[in-house]
Structure 1
């Protein structure tokens, strides 16, 4: 267990929230508009003939070429073996300018030799971050720079991949795993399908940040649930804001 706890402190759990690059399709870069319309034809909908551009608001955010990162939630465990206690410290990076947000996140990645962990991270979070960094003219930090690396040299974990146990046809939502493991939900206020509307219509980035932070915490708890040998360890969640308050006190 000691070796596992030592590695655990090197894992950075993360989750990203994304939105379309612009609120309205008409405001998208003119060079990208025809490319989106081609992409749109490949999206299955109940309406076989949707109005051109009508799917942009709801669907563009999941495609890095047409979307943007609006916040990155991160968290990591600090262990106190004598107390049999784990402290999970989390925070959310958010900025009006995507490039500044990504630069701040990159700064964290360069502080330590992190192992990155996200739910469906290998198919969404990690490649999305890489693409948006390059689009913003940012060189990739070492944990995301996987070109030329051997598979065992890539320090990426994915709770969905772990749950597949080799069954690569199997897709499991974070919320479903939270339910089967009895972990409190992260969907109390919004879910992923409502992020774009919350960002553009409600202009409530704080609500999205809280949702993102909860997803990070849920991902970390699911990872721990997959290692039942640590059942005797108590987990205490501490946000970055709580840490600052404690430091002031």
Structure 2
């Protein structure tokens, strides 16, 4: 049961991704062709591959990670804090710093990773990008040979499904129906491409990523029927 997991053993996270290059025309010919083939069913006849390129960030083969935000609970007596920090910069540095965090602070059997739709997106995306950069996978992302109940991953989308695999519930919608306050200044996920490549405002993306990480933690608290975090309990470090 979710209530049996010690909150201090959970590393909450969210990632933000963009296409590897600013424009489709900057890709080499082979990559352009492969992207056209990869996206033909998503694009149908509505868009060319070039017109569809701003969405390339959702695939690890054509995108890259520009921010990983993580958060974790600490308790001193009855005092509760949720600490949030982010890794950003060159992707290989982001991945190495995240791996170091896992191996030095979240490397015990009882430690788990938690994200919204993490099993379908965040966790495999990080693992694939590590392999592409020739970074050995940390144990929390290396699932080979593990039985389903041995996988150290929590997914708030999966928890919300209760066995129903027919629908997708966004983080924003889930937070709304559970009465979790949503920050008014968030950018939309579809805007990350423009904010990164056109506005070149990584700080804005980091803020957005950290707020989503806090929201994931808030959802877990609601699913455990515990009180939500207050502003003074959240520390950005």
TM-score by length of structure 1 reads 0.87
In the alignment, which residue of structure 2 is the partner of 1:231? 227
Give the secondary-structure state (helix, strand or coil) at the position aligned to 1:163.
helix
Asked if the contact 2:43–2:49 (Cα under 8 Å) also holds between the matched residues in 1, the reply is: no
Aligned mates of 2:118, 2:228 — CA distance in 1: 28
Deviations 1:196-224 (A, max 9, x none): 11000000000000000000000000110
Asked if the contact 2:35–2:49 (Cα under 8 Å) also holds between the matched residues in 1, the reply is: no
CA RMSD of aligned residues (A): 2.0
Q: 1:52 to 1:143 in 2, by over 3 A?
A: closer
Aligned mates of 2:48, 2:147 — CA distance in 1: 45
In the alignment, which residue of structure 2 is the partner of 1:108? 101
Asked if the contact 1:186–1:211 (Cα under 8 Å) also holds between the matched residues in 2, the reply is: no
Deviations 1:154-181 (A, max 9, x none): 1100001001011111211100111112
Aligned mates of 2:31, 2:184 — CA distance in 1: 33
In the alignment, which residue of structure 2 is the partner of 1:243? none
In the alignment, which residue of structure 1 is the partner of 2:116? 119
In the alignment, which residue of structure 2 is the partner of 1:210? 207
In the alignment, which residue of structure 2 is the partner of 1:193? 190
In the alignment, which residue of structure 2 is the partner of 1:247? none
Please point out which of 73, 76, 83 is paired with 2:69. 73
Aligned mates of 2:127, 2:210 — CA distance in 1: 21
CA drift of 1:49 comes to 4.6
Q: How does 1:141-180 map to 2 (within 5 A)?
A: 141-180=138-177
Give the secondary-structure state (helix, strand or coil) at the position aligned to 1:18.
strand
Aligned mates of 1:217, 1:189 — CA distance in 2: 13
Asked if the contact 2:175–2:182 (Cα under 8 Å) also holds between the matched residues in 1, the reply is: yes
Deviations 1:124-148 (A, max 9, x none): 0000001111011111101000011
Give the secondary-structure state (helix, strand or coil) at the position aligned to 1:109.
helix
Asked if the contact 1:175–1:186 (Cα under 8 Å) also holds between the matched residues in 2, the reply is: no
Aligned mates of 2:208, 2:196 — CA distance in 1: 12
Q: Gaps spanning 5+ residues in structure 1: where?
A: 241-249
In the alignment, which residue of structure 2 is the partner of 1:246? none
Q: Gaps spanning 5+ residues in structure 2: where?
A: none
In the alignment, which residue of structure 2 is the partner of 1:245? none
